[in-house]
């Protein structure tokens, strides 16, 4: 079977069709449809499947409801869009009961209320075995202003929000059977709790995305769902450029200490951090200080000519190949 990204490309090639109002179709975090009132609609969808994207053995229902919306809000943030509406469809197996669904929607609507997102429809069906969740999100931005993946230019600086690797640490801990300890004074347990929280209930960077669009300084952007190594390669492929990033500049989450895993590897390839990776023309670098002071922003490299995506370590420069999660890899 084709790999995930090869399959997406094959579908993209077949689906291509010129349309007067379609500004961007398959290939970015959201599709862009031009409206008649000076706005573009941003549309994205996410599918979550039990035992592929989440395991009910360690995922609380409320956290699953939160994450269902959070991953789509992160797509909206990656385009600088303002989320407005969503539809939600559920395929529900017999092992999902009313209590679980009530808690699921508690988490879902708590996040929806935070960002004033209105659930406008969807569908439900019985599932023979797995819980399947399908969410479509609709947002908007000023016409022609959406921040796409294909705008990076040689010389642009590469920034990332927050820190990387915490979600991967959280997944490792959950799969090892770790249960969070409330209000623990132990530093390692505190780090472990923080990592689990990062995996189960990611915080989408909607405000940062909106601010970047308002300032008009991001030349390209993507959310880090597949992992820094994979998502940076996505930007480079769409923009037809190369990149160089520096290992000692990458903001590695201190939660890696809790598992004694390779922090750099988790930051590069772990995925599901849902931070934003964006590029900025050097002349606009001084405007970065106008972004949210509560969110860490780190300069990690620059866009280059050609197509090579490189990682500079202390001793050498090496190719940074996509190493994040990919569906259909065996």
- Condensed to tens digits (0 to 9), the pLDDT of residues 159-205 reads 999 999 999 999 999 999 998 877 777 888 899 999 999 999 999 99
Together in a domain, 155 and 134? no
Together in a domain, 38 and 164? no
Predicted pLDDT at 69: 96
Q: How confident is the model at residue 23 (pLDDT cuts 50, 70, 90)?
A: confident
Together in a domain, 262 and 287? yes
Together in a domain, 273 and 220? yes
User: Distance between CA 242 and CA 302 in Å, rounded?
Assistant: 9
Q: What is the CATH number of the domain that holds 114?
A: 3.30.1330.10
Together in a domain, 58 and 161? no
Cβ 167 vs Cβ 275: under 8 Å: no
In a domain, 98, yes or no: yes
pLDDT exceeding 70 applies to what percent of the chain?
89
In a domain, 328, yes or no: no
Q: How confident is the model at residue 312 (pLDDT cuts 50, 70, 90)?
A: very high
Structure tokens at 5: 């990204």
Question: pLDDT averaged over the chain?
Answer: 89
> Per-residue pLDDT for 7 more than 70?
no
Predicted pLDDT at 158: 98
Together in a domain, 42 and 174? no
Give how many domains the chain has, as a whole number. 2
Domain with 239, as residue range(s), is 149-319
Cβ 291 vs Cβ 218: under 8 Å: no
Q: Look at residue 209 and give its three-state secondary structure.
A: helix
Together in a domain, 17 and 115? yes
Cβ 61 vs Cβ 92: under 8 Å: no
Among 142, 169, 188, give the residue marking a domain's end: 142
Tokens 């961007």 -> residue: 24
> Per-residue pLDDT for 261 more than 90?
no
Together in a domain, 80 and 168? no
pTM for the whole structure: 0.88
Q: Going by C-beta distance under 8 Å and a sequence separation of 6 or more, which residues neighbour residue 195?
A: 166, 167, 169, 170, 173, 253, 255, 258, 259
Q: How far is CA 201 from CA 69, 211, 263, in A?
A: 10, 23, 21
Q: Comparing C-alpha atoms, which of 89, 65, 83, 55 is closest to residue 201?
A: 65
Together in a domain, 94 and 209? no
């Amino acid at each position: 079977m084709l790999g995930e990204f090869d399959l997406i490309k094959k579908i993209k090639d077949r689906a291509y069709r010129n349309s007067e109002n379609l500004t961007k179709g398959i290939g970015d975090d959201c599709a862009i449809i031009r409206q008649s009132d000076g706005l573009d609609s941003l549309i994205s969808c996410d599918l979550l499947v039990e035992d592929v994207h989440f395991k009910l053995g360690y995922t609380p229902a409320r956290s699953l409801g939160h994450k269902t919306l959070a991953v789509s809000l992160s797509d909206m943030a990656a385009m600088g869009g303002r989320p407005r509406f969503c539809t939600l469809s559920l395929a529900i197996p017999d092992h999902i009961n009313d209590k679980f669904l009530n808690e699921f929607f508690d988490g879902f609507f708590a996040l929806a209320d935070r960002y004033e997102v209105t659930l406008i429809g969807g569908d439900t069906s019985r599932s023979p075995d797995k819980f399947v969740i399908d969410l479509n999100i609709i947002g908007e931005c000023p016409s022609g202003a959406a921040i796409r993946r294909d705008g990076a230019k040689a010389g642009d600086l590469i920034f990332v929000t927050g820190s990387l690797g915490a979600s991967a640490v959280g997944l490792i801990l959950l799969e090892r059977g770790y249960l969070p300890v409330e209000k623990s004074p132990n530093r390692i347990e505190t780090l472990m709790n923080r990592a689990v929280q990062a995996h189960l209930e990611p915080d989408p960077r909607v405000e940062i995305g909106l601010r970047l669009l308002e300032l008009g300084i991001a030349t390209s952007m993507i959310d880090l769902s597949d992992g820094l190594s994979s998502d940076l390669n996505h930007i480079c492929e769409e923009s037809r450029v190369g990149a160089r990033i520096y290992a000692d500049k990458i903001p590695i989450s201190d939660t890696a200490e809790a598992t004694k895993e390779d922090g750099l590897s988790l930051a590069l390839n772990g995925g599901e951090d849902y931070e934003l990776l964006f590029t900025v023309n050097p002349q606009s670098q001084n405007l970065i200080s106008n972004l949210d002071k509560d969110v860490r922003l780190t300069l990690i490299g620059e866009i280059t000519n050609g197509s090579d995506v490189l990682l500079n370590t202390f001793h050498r420069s090496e190719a940074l190949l996509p190493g994040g999660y990919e569906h259909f890899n065996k």
